[in-house]
Structures are given as structure tokens and as C-alpha cells.
Structure 1
Amino acid sequence: MTPPRDVTSRLRQSVWNGSIPLEIRLHKGDCITYDESEPYLVQFPRLSYLGLLIPKLHSFFSRNLIYPDVDPFEAWLSCDNVPLKWHYPLGLLYDLYSGTEPHPGEGRKEDAEQPGLPWRLRVHFSDYPTEQLIKLDAAGKHLHDLYINGVKEADYLRNGTGKTIMSLNKDDSTQLWESVKQHNFSLFNPINHKLLNPQGVNLRHMPIKLYLPHASTENQKEEPTPGSVRVMQALVPPVLSSRSPQTVGTALNTMVPTLFPSRRIPTVAQPVLHGAVLPLTVNVEDLLRTSTYSDGWLHITVSMMS
């Protein structure tokens, strides 16, 4: 049963308010003194994108750069030498690469109290990994397009058509991206409500992306590159053939039965969303209404159980 609209909105705002403290240092290969520069410290929203930090990072580190006139958009960020993808929201990147254990879904602490924080990253201004990352641009068009393409894909899965996002007027489309850039919930929520509740359209499928570490995949023939992740999608309807609601457990049992042989109890791996372990009994449609990232996707990472 879908929660009332006011409850849904409060839950979504709680997800929206999640943030992670970051400690970003200049890579020594770009630093004029070849040692530790002063760190850039910021409390950054989980649902936002690291590409939005580039101008501030360039301005902060310019006095320490070997080549201070370098184009700011030569910048890229890494964690343990793994380039961080611009189109992944910060919360997803953290859940994938932080190396910290996810918290239980109930009674979990705030991010700022978790061990292993602040999350320590490196910013580079040379040797751009063009085979792994799309280079961003000063006008912000590439980051905008990456985001909007994700929104369109999620919209198509939910409704079987992309008409909802395509029918937004220019002001609404602009407001959606501005809400992300400004991290402004009051701008975001009314547009998001239109996307999730189109009139006369029934929910077709759940936009779920599942992120599996390569250690969890089978029949590995090649050594995976550091930080490589397998991304899985499937057509996940809101209800089962029995007309029972789709749960996290039933969805994952269908997508990766070797990792989720039970639909109710995790035995091999745990699903993680926004830093918390998801109970397998949670209704996926409820998650869709309250806990998607701003692009409309449930980006669920898999944490292997020891």
C-alpha cells in the first residue's frame, strides 16, 4: 500500500537531505610542492554529482598547481586510484568504493557519525582517463545530458513510454536540473511528483540498477580492473504473477538468484541503498515513491556477506 502523499514527501526529503563529508586533496603529481596540499573540506549531498564541484576545486587548488592555467575541466576525481564516474551520484560512489560496512536499515546513524569519514578523495588535473570517463565542459552540457538521459530512461521503464519527461514544459525541465545543481528540494519535489504520478498511466516497471563487485560474478576469465563494477538491469514489474507486491527479495532473487537464493533472508549478499542495508521484505514500489536518486533510479549496490 502506497504511503500517503505527505508521508512520501517527508521520506523523500529525508533521503534528499543525506550528505557525506569529503576531504579532497590535490594529487601529488599536480602539486607544485609534491607533498600534501591543504585539503578541500565539504559536506556534499548524497544525491548530487561530483562534477558540480569542479570550478570550486580548481579555484581552491590553483595556487598549488604546477600549471595553474590548466583548464578546470581537465580535472577528475579518484578513490584509491579508481576514477569516479561523473554520472554516478555521490551516494552511489560512496556505497561502491568507501570500503566501510553499510548500516542496518533500521536505526542507522547519520552519515557524519559513520566510521571512515570524511571520505578521502584525490583531484587530478593531468593524465585524464579518457577510456573510463567522459570529459566535462565549462557550460555543464555534458553533465546535464548524462543526468537527463538517466531521467528519460527511468521514465520509459516506469511508464512504457518517455512521454512524461518529454511533455514537461521548458520551465519545468529547466527547474528539474536547477534543483539538482542547487540541491533545492522545494524546486525538485513538484517536478518529481509529476514524473512519478502521470495522469492516466499505470506503473509498468521499476527502474532498478544493481551494482555488483566483480568478486561476486561468476566465470571470470580475465582479471578485472581495479574498482570495476558489473551493472545489471531487468524488467521488474510492480507486482508478481500471483498479484502479490514485488519486494526487494523477489526482485533480487529473479535478477541474481545465486547471490539472493532466499527471497526473505540475506545469506550470501546484502542489498544497500543510501548507505543502509535494505530488508528483503520491503515493497519496491514504496521505495520507488520515497527513495530513488534524483534521476528516478533505485541504484542498489551489493555487499558480500563474510
Structure 2
Amino acid sequence: MSSSRDVTSRLRQTIWNGSLPLEIRLHKGDCRTYDDSDPYLIQYPRLSYLGLLIHRLRAFFSNKLIYPDVDVTDLWLEHEGVPLKWHYPLGLLYDLYSGNEPAYPNDATSSKVDTAADDQVNLPWRLTVHFSDYPVEHLVKLDADGKHLYDMFINSAKEADYLRNGTGRTVMSLSKEDSTQLWDSVQQHDFSLFGPINQKLLNPQGVNLRHIPIKLYLPHATSSSKADAAAKSKDKAPGSLRVVQALVTPALSSRQPQTVGTALNQIIPSLFPSRRSPLLAQAVLHGAVLPLASSVEDLLRVAAYMDGWMHIAVIMMA
């Protein structure tokens, strides 16, 4: 049992340490020298939120802005025309929009592994920062004090808590000190602060795990039904997604552990007709293709994002 806990702890720490190199350039429409400005370069945690960078970006680009007194709340980021949602963790945004091949399990074919390795030359991930023309129809606007980002994070954590335990009381009953520590751990990306609070949330005394908080993110191009096609035609937002949720229990009715394959087959059988092999699409979490035989409960313990959700990108196979 101790060995199992050690493995879980090491995996969680490894995921926590995951990061991506970013190259953020100022949009030429906001640059007083058109496009002659240095990029902002940073190695940023996969689990963190781009909204925590707004003050640093404002300070870095201030001497290049056409209107230097522009408010920090007018800042927004995009990748190839896609506005990046503040409440999506960086790792999820990258898995959805970068176009890079994810990492494959050890039993994947060598050609796939080689392809994934080759695609890493596309790093750093290139983003564009804007200080005008805020896309209010696609993005919630942040405030300078970070309260909106905090509210979005806490609401997501409450929703995950409700699914896990059938009640949101675990998050709601955190002491003021614990709540502050949780948000500090997110802002500072400090595992020593996050770990103790996360343990309280995942393992409340006297409560059995009821459901696994899973969100699936599907590009609208993967929609196959007439209803989905109609929704797609109405939604002209670049990079628009269909977000799918369902009640996923830790075990099947047969008392066998719920796996990634059984859960995906239950939620979107049109894309995952097999419970054992990915035939049409792959489930990607933290940049890696999930083995369909993986236990969803085990994954929750080691691979949930900081808000308690497993945010899984569904990527169509070539």
C-alpha cells in the first residue's frame, strides 16, 4: 500500500512539473512599431492558467503599445485566430489547438513515437497578445485583481467536488486559511501548498467516491449527427468546441473497475465503438494518449487538473 502511494505521489509530482515553452508576440495592430517588438518567452506550467500572466505581459509590452495607458483587462491571447479561454488550463489549450502529436503509450508503434518526437520542433508554442478588439462574445473579461479568474476556478472546483461526493460541502467547508492556501498554490504553482488541500478534497472522511469528474472536448468537426451539424453551422467561433459531460462511476455494474475505454464507449460510442482499441479517435490528457485499459479512478488520483477535473481532449485519428 505504501509503495502504491509513493508511485501515485511521484506521478502527481511529475504531472505538476510539466510545462511548455511559450513565445508570446504583440499583435501588429497594437504595436507602435508595427511588428518590430521582442517576444515574451516563458516556460509555463501545463496545469496553470494564462490569465495569471496578464500583469507580466502588460508590463513587458508597455513600451511598445500604441496606447500605453491601455487597461490590463483589455488584454487577451490567441493562437492562429482562436481566442484562448482564461478558465482552460494551458495544457488543455495546447492539446486542443497546437496541432502537435501527443505522446503515445509504450506499446504504440515506433513510427507513431517517432512522429510525436519530430513534431516537438514546433515548440515553443507561439501565441499572440492583443490589447484591443476584445472578443467579448467568446471570452469572459478578467479584472485587474484576479477575482474573476478565482471565481471561475472555485466554481469549477465546486462542480468537481459535487460529482465526486454528491455534495459540494467539501470545498465549501474549507477553512479560510485552506481556501487561501488553495488559491495561493494555483497562483504560485507551489505543490507543497497544493498537495495537503488536494488530499482533503479527494479523500474526505466518511465519503465514498460517487462519480469521476470528466469533461471531454470535441472539435465541432467531429460531430456526426444532424443536430450537431446544425449547431456547428450556427457557431462561427474560431476553434469552437463541443464540451461533453456524463455521470461516470468508478466501477461498472459488474463491480469491475471503470476504464477509460468503458467510459468513452458509454459517453460517445460513435467515436469510441471499441472499449479496448482506439479506432476513430484518441483521448489525450496532459499531452499523452490515454490507454483505454486505464482505471478512471486511478487517473483521477494522479492526473486531475488543479480544479479537480480530468479535462480530456478528443483528437481524431488520421
The question of a shared fold, defined as TM-score above 0.5 by the shorter chain, is answered with yes
Tell me the residue number matched to 1:145. Answer: 151
- Take 1:241 and 1:2, find their aligned partners in 2: how far apart are those partners? 29
Tell me if 1:206 matches 2:212. Answer: yes
Tell me if 1:235 matches 2:247. Answer: yes
For 1:93, the aligned partner's letter is: L
Gaps of 5+ in 2: 108-112
Tell me the residue number matched to 1:155. Answer: 161
- Take 1:205 and 1:40, find their aligned partners in 2: how far apart are those partners? 41
2:190 to 184, 188, 192: 184
How far is 1:113 from its partner? 8.5
Gaps of 5+ in 1: none
How far is 1:112 from its partner? 12
| Partner SS for 1:303 | strand
Tell me the residue number matched to 1:285. Answer: 297
Tell me the residue number matched to 1:59. Answer: 59
RMSD: 1.9
- Take 1:283 and 1:159, find their aligned partners in 2: how far apart are those partners? 18
How far is 1:114 from its partner? 2.2
- Take 1:97 and 1:2, find their aligned partners in 2: how far apart are those partners? 39
Tell me if 1:101 matches 2:107. Answer: no
Tell me the residue number matched to 2:110. Answer: none
Change (3 A) 1:264 1:147: same
C-alpha contact 1:214 1:229 (8 A) present in aligned 2: yes
For 1:303, the aligned partner's letter is: I
- Take 1:179 and 1:65, find their aligned partners in 2: how far apart are those partners? 32
| Partner SS for 1:123 | strand
How far is 1:2 from its partner? 11
Change (3 A) 1:5 1:190: same
| Partner SS for 1:96 | helix
How far is 1:101 from its partner? 1.2
- Take 2:186 and 2:118, find their aligned partners in 1: how far apart are those partners? 22
How far is 1:73 from its partner? 1.4
Change (3 A) 1:118 1:112: farther
Provide TM-score, normalisation by structure 2.
0.93
How far is 1:3 from its partner? 7.2
Change (3 A) 1:37 1:214: same
Instruction: Determine what percentage of the aligned residue pairs are the same residue.
Output: 70
C-alpha contact 2:101 2:119 (8 A) present in aligned 1: no
C-alpha contact 1:20 1:111 (8 A) present in aligned 2: no
- Take 2:63 and 2:123, find their aligned partners in 1: how far apart are those partners? 27
The 5-angstrom pairing of residues 37-76 of structure 1 reads: 37-76=37-76
| Partner SS for 1:99 | coil
Change (3 A) 1:2 1:243: farther
How far is 1:138 from its partner? 1.1
C-alpha contact 2:26 2:35 (8 A) present in aligned 1: no
Tell me the residue number matched to 1:121. Answer: 127
Provide TM-score, normalisation by structure 1.
0.96
For 1:272, the aligned partner's letter is: V
- Take 2:208 and 2:119, find their aligned partners in 1: how far apart are those partners? 41
1:298 to 286, 310, 315: 310
